[in-house]
Structure formats: structure tokens, C-alpha cells
Amino acid sequence: MDKVKILIYVLLSLALQPNTSCSKKDMPFQPTDSLGKINKWVYDSMQLYYYWSADMPAHPDYSLPTQDFFKQLLSPKDRFSWISNRSTTGSLKTSAELYGFHYSLATHPFDAQKLVGVITCVVPGSNAATRGMKRGMLFSAVNDKAITPQTRFAAAQALQAESAILQLAAFNIDQTALVDSVRIGVQSAYVPQKSVYATSVFELNGKKTGYLAYFLCAEKDDGILLQSINKLKNEAVSECIIDLRYNPGGSVASASKLAAMLTGSFNPNNIFITYRGNRYGGAVKQSFQEAIAFSGNASGKNMSDLQARNLGLSRVFMLTSAATASAAELLAHNLAPFVQVIRIGETTLGKDEAAFPVEDKRSPRQVEWLIMPIVYKIADGAGKGDYSTGLVPDYPVNEVSHLPLSPLGQPGDWPVDKALTLIYGTTAVTVTSL
């Protein structure tokens, strides 16, 4: 991506030069006030980088506040581009990013007119973890407002604020009712990054299946990722379940490293990713080796390290949810030409797009705003992509359709059970944590 960015920065500097050959009628807007100059910089940057630049208005209203000006440039197809003045966050954060917990809303087990929140994953070391939250906990209200089908969106919005109060609930002793327990407050705070949550092996009659809960494509953890795959390699697993349910993406290079260790036969020169941009960006293809070369972590950058850990699989089971996004979706989609990918769970978010920050590189900087526009659509090595509506699972499974929730990655965890049934015909297997 850096090579592409360098090329586009050069194009941008050329694009911003005055065109003296234009007639007065065709001359681009020339701002005279500070707001106009900022908005003109935003427009020129978007025209050069933005994937949907051809759909931008030819004559936008430069007098609008910059945030509103930016919005009028966006395509109706765009869900993810944002702009920030550096003092405010450019995009809304999820509960996982704010507090450190993932959740899903499920039908109340004893009242069809209500919903209940289900904590599905808690980030170790986060505010949610220090408050004692754990996978499987339930909550019936947010900020003292009960969750119903009518209030579900308000509840979701409340969980995107700087703080929130959850009314916890639990099954009674004989599991015939849900009873409210304590109210617990959560605060927005630093959430530590963690990629690998669990590595284990399922076994029945000598047949071994590896399980890897990979919930963030974070380069700092690439060494841990390689260690986990090496453990599965040493166990001689013949099948593998990759759990991406709570993976929002991250580094494409890290996702590519994992893909390289999962392919049935790994060739570092095989084309793994196609980036499709606007008329300036064009199409950029990257092999495994080229994608991995952009990693900031030396672990796995040497192709021989990945080849030594290659599991030699003929198929991979991938668990997904609506929280599976970006680089995690790329992994689940782009691996398919190289090994059979069987997706289990829920339809993914549908972020088949790549973005990078655009800022004023002049010295001194004249515009403080930071833009994060969608620059590319992502496809596999053959150019197949277009999954903006999400990757549909081969076997739909809603993990919160049966409560109480079972421990992550264990028999009883519904998406895991489906994979085990497809592999063994039963869920009665032994489990060994690595």
C-alpha cells in the first residue's frame, strides 16, 4: 500500500498545480477565505483518492462547514469514509473499541416482546474486564431503558457513548426465568489489543482438528500468531477451525501471513489480493509476498517461516458474525481460490474496501483536517470481489439463539458444534488447550 500511496501523493501534488490553459469559464473554484481553502483541499484530495470520485458533485457548496461539505461529496454506497478535525473522533466506535466487550441482542427467552443483550466476548485488560464482565453475561436494559424490538437501535446508540449503565440479568436456579441483578457502569478507556484468544485441538479416533480464535489482525501479535499455528502443526492437525467472529480487521499483511499458513500448497508469488481504485488509483495486484512485505513486524516476513508452518489443509472452517470485517473478511474471501473455505455463523459486515489517511503534507501544514476516504475495493487474486452486503455463511448459525451461552471455542458453542459435526459427525470430542 505504501508504494501506491507514494504514487498517489505525487499525483496529488500535480493535481493541485494551477492549470493556466483553462478558460475562465472552466477554471476551478479559487477560494478567497480560510473555509473555502480548507474545503477546496478536501475536494481536491477526494477527487484524487476517493473510490467514487466520479460520482462527486462538480459544483459543491464550498460555503458549508467542512464536516457538512465532506458529507455532500460522499456516495450513497459509502458507509465508512470519515473526516476529523483531529480534536474529534472521525467515526463512531463500537462497544468493543470503547469499553472492551462485544455483544449481540437476542430474543428474550421468556418474553417475545423483549430483547436481551448477550456479552459474547470480553477483551482482557479492558474496562469491561476490570468491571467483571464475562462472556455469557446478560443485560436487560441500557441506561435504565428496557431493550425491546422498538428500542434496540436506541440501545445500540447508547452503547456508542463515552459511558453507559447496563442492567445485568441472570437465569434463576431452575432456569425458568430471567431475574435482574446488579447495575454496572462501563467507561470509555484504552482497550488493549489482543489477537489470539485461544489455541486448542479437538480429537476423536486419532483425527485432530485445530482451533484458533483470531480476533484482531494486529501486527504486534504476529509472533504469537506464528507460535499458535506452529503448535497446531506440531499436533499434526488435518482440519482447522479459524474463529473470526469478533475480528474487526486490521493489518492486511497479518491476515495474509495467516492465509499463507493455511493454504493447501503455498506459493509466495501467487496473486492474493486485487485492489481496484478510481481512474488515478487503477488496479493493483499483490502476491502473498508483496502483501506481507508491508508488515511492520519481522515475524513471518520471511516466506520460509510461513512455509515451515503451512498446515497443508484441503479445507478450512471459518466462523463469522456481523462483527467480522475488513481484513478478516479479506482472509475469509481471498483464501477461497487456494483452499476450500467453509463459512459457519452469520453474514459478515461487508467491508470489501480499503482506506488510508490523507492529510496536508505541506510544511508548515495549512489544513489540520484528516480524511479517511475509501480508496480501493478489495477482490481476490482473480479479481472476484463485490461482497459489500457481507459474506453469507455456508451454514447459518446464530450463536445467541440458545441461552445460556457456552464457553468460547468449546463443545456447546453453537458455531463450533456445527464445524465439529461436519468434521466428525458428533460433538463428543476431547479438547486440549495449547
Task: Tell me the mean pLDDT in the region 107-136.
Answer: 95
Task: Tell me the mean pLDDT in the region 185-210.
Answer: 96
In a domain, 68, yes or no: yes
Domain shared by 119 and 25, yes or no: no
pLDDT, position 175: 86
Measured over the CA atoms of residue 242, residue 400, residue 118 and residue 157, the dihedral's sign is: positive
Given 187, 222, 253, which residue is the final one in a domain? Answer: 187
Task: Tell me the mean pLDDT in the region 85-110.
Answer: 89
What's the CA gap between 31 and 38, in Å, rounded? Answer: 9
Confidence category of residue 7, pLDDT binned at 50, 70, 90: very low
Confidence category of residue 21, pLDDT binned at 50, 70, 90: very low
pLDDT, position 174: 87
| Residue 66: pLDDT over 70 | yes
Q: Of the candidates 186, 104, 92, which has an alpha carbon nearest to the alpha carbon of residue 138? A: 104
pLDDT, position 265: 79
pLDDT, position 266: 84
pLDDT, position 12: 41
User: Are the C-beta atoms of residues 132 and 120 closer than 8 Å to each other?
Assistant: no
User: Are the C-beta atoms of residues 140 and 184 closer than 8 Å to each other?
Assistant: no
Task: Tell me the mean pLDDT in the region 29-43.
Answer: 89
| Residue 20: pLDDT over 80 | no
Residues 6+ apart with CB under 8 A from 315: 239, 339, 340, 341, 342
For 277, counting Cβ atoms within 10 Å of its Cβ (0-12 exposed, 13-18 middle, 19+ buried), the class is buried
Query: 214-238 pLDDT, tens per residue?
Result: 999 999 999 999 999 999 999 999 9
Query: 360-389 pLDDT, tens per residue?
Result: 999 999 999 999 999 999 999 999 999 999
| Residue 6: pLDDT over 50 | no
Domain shared by 103 and 69, yes or no: no
Task: Tell me the mean pLDDT in the region 54-69.
Answer: 95
For 205, counting Cβ atoms within 10 Å of its Cβ (0-12 exposed, 13-18 middle, 19+ buried), the class is exposed
Task: Tell me the mean pLDDT in the region 113-126.
Answer: 96
Domain shared by 291 and 427, yes or no: yes
In a domain, 114, yes or no: yes
Domain shared by 414 and 272, yes or no: yes
Omega before residue 18 within 30° of 0, cis: no
Helices (H), 319-377: 327-334
CATH of the domain at 415: 3.90.226.10
Mean pLDDT of the chain: 92
Query: 302-355 pLDDT, tens per residue?
Result: 999 999 999 999 999 999 999 999 999 999 999 999 999 999 999 999 999 999
In a domain, 332, yes or no: yes
Confidence category of residue 44, pLDDT binned at 50, 70, 90: very high
Domain shared by 410 and 334, yes or no: yes
The percent helix, strand, coil of the chain (3-state, each to 5) is 25, 25, 50
Task: Identify the domain containing residue 59 by its residue range.
Answer: 2-78
Say how many domains are in the chain.
3
In a domain, 361, yes or no: no
| Residue 159: pLDDT over 90 | yes
Confidence category of residue 89, pLDDT binned at 50, 70, 90: low
What's the CA gap between 37 and 209, in Å, rounded? Answer: 59
Domain shared by 179 and 273, yes or no: no
Domain shared by 415 and 285, yes or no: yes
Task: Tell me the mean pLDDT in the region 203-223.
Answer: 97
